[in-house]
Structure 1
Amino acid sequence: MAVHTLPSSWLPSISYPPAQNGRWSPVTSTLNFCEEDYYATIYAAEIVNTLTNLLFMYLAVKGIRNCLANDHDTVFLVAFVGYLLVGTGSFLFHATLKYPMQLVDELSMIYTTCLMVYATFSYRKSTRYSTMLAIFLVALALFITLYYHYLQDPTFHQNAYALLTAIVLIRAIYVMESNIRPKFRTTDRKAANPRPTGGKVEQDKVDLRDLEILRRMWTMIGFGVSIFLGGFAIWQLDNMYCTTIRRWRREIGMPWGFFLEGHGWWHLMTGTGAYFYIVWGIYLRHCLNYKQDDYKLDWPGWTALPAVVRRQKLDAYEHADVYDNGLSKKRS
C-alpha cells in the first residue's frame, strides 16, 4: 500500500485498499453500512464499526462492577448485562454481516430497553401489577422478535426501539420530578417521608439538597440525550451522503478516513448516552428510596464517566487520596 501525504497537510496517510471478499462472505444481513467491506482485513467486514463496539463492552463491565460493589438494584445489573450483550452482538454483526448476528445485535437493544421499561414502571407497584407488567413486556418482546424476523425490515426495529426509549425516558422524568422536586412531590411521597425533626429549617436544607440533585440529574439527561441524538444525526448523514463520504475517505487515506465513519460515531455516542441513562436510573432509584444521603453521584467533570457510589466508600477514597505533605489531591 502506497504512503502519500494528505492534501494541504504534513500528516502521512495510507491509501485505502480495494474492498474484497472476506472470511465471512457472502453478506446475508438486511443492512450494510457505508463502511466498505473487508478493506482492512479479511476477518472483519467493517473494521471501524466492529472495534467501536469495544466501548460498549468496557462501559458494560464498568457498570456491572459498580452495581456489584455498591449494592444497586438487581434490575440495573441485568440491564448492564443486556448492555454488554448489545455491544457483543453489534461487534459480531459488523465483523461478519451475517443475518443471525444482526438479530442478536438489534433484538438485544429491544430486550434491554424492555428491562428499563420494567424498572421504571414497576417501582413501588404491587406484586400483581409487576407480574402482569413483566408478562406484557415478555409478550411484547416476543412479538417484536417474530414480526421483525417475518418482515426483515430494519425500519420496524428502529421505530420500535425509538418508541420504547421515548416512553421509558418520559416516564422516568415524570417520576423524578413528581417525587423529588419539592413543589411537585406527590401526597403519598410526603406522607412516607414526613418533615425532618428539625422543623422548617431542616426541611429547607433537605429541599435545597434535592434541588441540587435535580440539577445534576437534568445535566446528565441533557448530556446523555444530546450525545445520543448527535450520534443518530451523524449516522443519518453517513447514510445520505455515503458516496461522497467514501470518496473523501479514499482521498485522505487511512487512518484519517476512519474519522469519517458515521456509524462508528453512532456506536461511540449512543453507547455513552445509554450508559449515562442507566447510571441516571440507578441514582434516581436510590433517591426515590430516600437514600440521597447514602449514595452519591460521582461525576467529577464532563470528561469523566459518572458512577453512583456509596458515600462511605467515596469518602474513604477521597480521605486516602492525599499527598505525602498532607495536602488533599483535587478531583477534577
Structure 2
Amino acid sequence: MAARMLSLIPSIPYPVEAEGRWLPVTSTIDWCEENYYATTYSAEIVNTLTNLLFMYLAAKGIHNVLTQGHDGVFLVGFVGYLLVGIGSFLFHSTLKYPFQLVDELSMIYTTCLMCFATFSYGGSRRYRNTLAASLVLLSLFITIYYHYLQDPTFHEVVYAILTVIVVVRSLFLMETNLRPRWRSKAREAANPRLRGQGPAAVMIENERDQKILREMWIMFFWGVSIFLSGFALWAVDNISCSSLVSLRRKIGLPWGVLLELHGWWHLMTGVGAYAYLVWGIWLRHCLDYKQDEYELVWPRWTSMPVVLKRQPKYQINGTDEKLKELVRN
C-alpha cells in the first residue's frame, strides 16, 4: 500500500553516485547523503547548502552587535559561528579532513569563548586572565588530542560537555541576578536605578525583571527544543542510514531531499545556536543593569530574535503628538 502511494507522487529518480571533483575522501566521517549524485562539485549538496543559514544568521548577528553596541565578546562569538558555517560548507562540499577540522574545531573554540564570556562575568582581572589562559590551553589540548585520535566521538562528547557547562552557568547567572527572591542584597544595592529610591521603585524593578525572566525562559526553551530536535534527527540519520537511503530512492527527487536528516540538523542547530548567542547578549545587558536601555525584539516564534537599543522617548519624526505639543508651547 505504501509503495503504491509513493509511486503516485510525481518525482524523478535519484541519480547514481558519481566521481567528484574533490575525490578521494580524506575525512574521518562520510555522512548518510550519497556523494556527488547532484553535481560533481559538491560531495553532499544538501548538507552543503543548509550551511547557508549559518552564514545568514552570522551576518545578522554581526550586524546587530556592531550597530547596537553589544559587548565585543559576542562579535567574536558570531565570527566563530560564521566559521562553523563556512567550515561545514567546505567540509560537506569536499569531504576533506582539513575542512573537517575547521568545521569541528570552530565549534569547540566558539563554545570555549562562550565559557569565558559566562564564567568571567564579575571576576577580577587576574581571574579573567587565568580563565582565558586555561581555556586557551584546553582548546590547544583538544585540538592536538583530536588530531592524534581522529575519533569523531571524542569531539562530540567534548562539545556536548562544554555546551552543557555554558548553558547551566548562564541559567544560574540569570536566576541569581534577576529573580527578586534570589537576588543578593549587594546586587540590589549596586543597582544605579534604585539609589535613593523607595520600595515603590524596587517593586517596579522586580515586576520588570519577572517579565524579562519569563521572556528569557520562553526563548531558552524555544532554542533548546529546536537544537535537541536537530540532534535527534542527526542520531536517526546515523543509526538508520541504509533505510533512509532506500526510502529516498523509492520517493525520488525532490521529495527525498526532505529525508536528508543531517541537513535538518544544520538548520535546527543553526537556529538554536543563534538563539543562545542572542539570549546571551540580552542576559549580559540585564546583568549590567541596562534592561531599560535595550529590549529583546521577537515578534513571533517563527522569526529570529534580536536585541536592540530602546528608542528615545521623544523622537523628531513628525508623528509624536506629545513632542509636537512641547514644540508648540
TM above 0.5, one fold?
yes
Percent of pairs identical after alignment? 62
Q: Which of 144-153 and 188-197 deviates more? A: 188-197
Structure 1's consecutive aligned runs of 4 or more residues displaced over 2 angstroms after TM superposition are 5-12, 194-198, 313-317, 319-322
SS in structure 1 of the partner of residue 219 of structure 2: helix
Superposed, 1:60-99 pairs within 5 Å as 60-99=58-97
In the alignment, the residues of structure 2 paired with residue 51 and residue 186 of structure 1 have an alpha-carbon distance, to the nearest angstrom, of 48
Q: Which of 9-18 and 49-58 deviates more? A: 9-18
Residues 81 and 110 in structure 2, CA contact (< 8 A), matched pair in contact too: yes
Give the aligned partner of residue 285 of structure 1.
Answer: 284
Closer/same/farther in 2, CA of residues 40 and 316 from structure 1, 3 Å limit:
farther
In the alignment, the residues of structure 2 paired with residue 316 and residue 299 of structure 1 have an alpha-carbon distance, to the nearest angstrom, of 23
Residues 231 and 267 in structure 1, CA contact (< 8 A), matched pair in contact too: yes
1:320 deviation in Å?
A: 8.6
Residues 196 and 203 in structure 1, CA contact (< 8 A), matched pair in contact too: no
1:312 deviation in Å?
A: 1.1
SS in structure 1 of the partner of residue 5 of structure 2: coil
Residues 82 and 108 in structure 1, CA contact (< 8 A), matched pair in contact too: yes
1:9 deviation in Å?
A: 7.3
Question: Which one-letter code corresponds to 2:288 in the other structure?
Answer: N
SS in structure 2 of the partner of residue 309 of structure 1: strand
Give the aligned partner of residue 214 of structure 2.
Answer: 215
Closer/same/farther in 2, CA of residues 241 and 314 from structure 1, 3 Å limit:
farther
Give the aligned partner of residue 326 of structure 1.
Answer: none
- Aligned-residue Cα RMSD (Å) equals 2.1
Closer/same/farther in 2, CA of residues 210 and 320 from structure 1, 3 Å limit:
farther
Q: Do residues 19 (structure 1) and 17 (structure 2) align?
A: yes
In the alignment, the residues of structure 1 paired with residue 281 and residue 105 of structure 2 have an alpha-carbon distance, to the nearest angstrom, of 23
In the alignment, the residues of structure 1 paired with residue 138 and residue 167 of structure 2 have an alpha-carbon distance, to the nearest angstrom, of 18
In the alignment, the residues of structure 1 paired with residue 38 and residue 319 of structure 2 have an alpha-carbon distance, to the nearest angstrom, of 45
In the alignment, the residues of structure 1 paired with residue 31 and residue 157 of structure 2 have an alpha-carbon distance, to the nearest angstrom, of 18
1:300 deviation in Å?
A: 0.3
SS in structure 1 of the partner of residue 23 of structure 2: coil
SS in structure 1 of the partner of residue 311 of structure 2: helix
Give the aligned partner of residue 302 of structure 1.
Answer: 301
**TM-score w.r.t. structure 1 length?**
0.91
In the alignment, the residues of structure 2 paired with residue 44 and residue 311 of structure 1 have an alpha-carbon distance, to the nearest angstrom, of 44
Structure 2 residues not aligned, in runs of 5+:
321-329
SS in structure 2 of the partner of residue 183 of structure 1: coil
Superposed, 1:34-53 pairs within 5 Å as 34-53=32-51
Superposed, 1:129-168 pairs within 5 Å as 129-168=127-166
Deviations 1:198-249 (A, max 9, x none): 5222211110100000000001110111111100001111111111110110
Question: Which one-letter code corresponds to 1:126 in the other structure?
Answer: S
Structure 1 residues not aligned, in runs of 5+:
323-332
Residues 112 and 135 in structure 2, CA contact (< 8 A), matched pair in contact too: yes
1:294 deviation in Å?
A: 0.2
Residues 11 and 251 in structure 2, CA contact (< 8 A), matched pair in contact too: yes
Residues 52 and 85 in structure 2, CA contact (< 8 A), matched pair in contact too: yes
Give the aligned partner of residue 276 of structure 1.
Answer: 275
In the alignment, the residues of structure 2 paired with residue 123 and residue 264 of structure 1 have an alpha-carbon distance, to the nearest angstrom, of 35
1:134 deviation in Å?
A: 0.6
Closer/same/farther in 2, CA of residues 315 and 264 from structure 1, 3 Å limit:
farther
Closer/same/farther in 2, CA of residues 156 and 208 from structure 1, 3 Å limit:
same
Instruction: Report how many aligned residue pairs link the two structures.
Output: 317
Closer/same/farther in 2, CA of residues 314 and 226 from structure 1, 3 Å limit:
farther
Question: Which one-letter code corresponds to 1:251 in the other structure?
Answer: K
In the alignment, the residues of structure 2 paired with residue 63 and residue 279 of structure 1 have an alpha-carbon distance, to the nearest angstrom, of 8
Give the aligned partner of residue 265 of structure 1.
Answer: 264
